[in-house]
Amino acid sequence: MLGRLLDKERRGQVQNLLDPSYVFANERDDIDYALLSIRQLINEFEDTTSDSVYKRVKSRLAHITSRVQRMPIDAENESYATCIELDAKLHERVLPSVAAVLPDPSQASTSTQQPILNVLNSQLSHSFRSVSISEWKENFDGGTKNLPRFLENVQELMQARQVSKAELFTSARDLFIGNGHYW
């Protein structure tokens, strides 16, 4: 937990913004209630970081932490410590990714190594080298085709064949023929 706080502080995410006109006594109950509801959400949470509940809890924690940081430091106030504790607890509740679930190859037996290799091979088979842009058979000649339609087709091919914008830009001359070069 302390390591996470130090990382935040190192990145400059921890700020002490004291507001002298801010009356903590009026806000204390609201903050405690919000922290209680966040704690309940975290206790019920078991999913990945892409889940909407995770994102909502992170947002609410950031908001409460910012509210607490605007107050003067008080020995009786444990709200900031509670925010840090809840943030750490949320990260503990996140389900591990598939890569973290796979056993260590040095500890795995021979019978379990084969399925892991099959999973990795099936994932690798989905990646492919894209067809060069000159072989797309999509050309613009400056007049016979509709320009918006041509641009849509090129965009779809770029996404489908996983070509970056930089690759498309460097090979753009292959997409134009005749008067299309001057258009």
Judged on CB neighbours under 10 Å (0-12, 13-18, 19+), 53 is middle
Residue 140, SS3 per DSSP: strand
Query: What's the Cα-to-Cα distance from 24 to each of 18, 67, 72, 108, 177, rounded to whole Å?
Result: 11, 10, 8, 55, 71
Distances in whole angstroms, Cα of residue 155 to Cα of each of 8, 49, 146, 169: 39, 30, 14, 12
Question: Residue 79: pLDDT above 50?
Answer: yes
CB 130 within 8 A of CB 163: yes
pLDDT score of 10: 66
Domain regions of the chain by residue span: 2-93, 133-181
The C-alpha R_g of the chain, in whole angstroms, comes to 27
pLDDT on residue 52: 79
pTM for the structure as a whole: 0.39
Handedness of CA 50, 54, 60, 63 (dihedral sign): negative
Helix spans in 70-164 (H)? 79-93, 98-101, 110-125, 147-160
Tens of pLDDT along 10-66?
Answer: 666 555 555 566 666 777 778 888 888 888 888 888 777 777 788 888 888 888 887
Instruction: Give the closest residue to 136 by CA, choosing from 112, 160, 113.
Output: 160
Mean pLDDT of 78-82: 77
Q: Which residue has the higher pLDDT, 36 or 87?
A: 36
Q: How confident is the model at residue 5 (pLDDT cuts 50, 70, 90)?
A: low
Contact of 116 with 156, CB cutoff 8 Å:
no
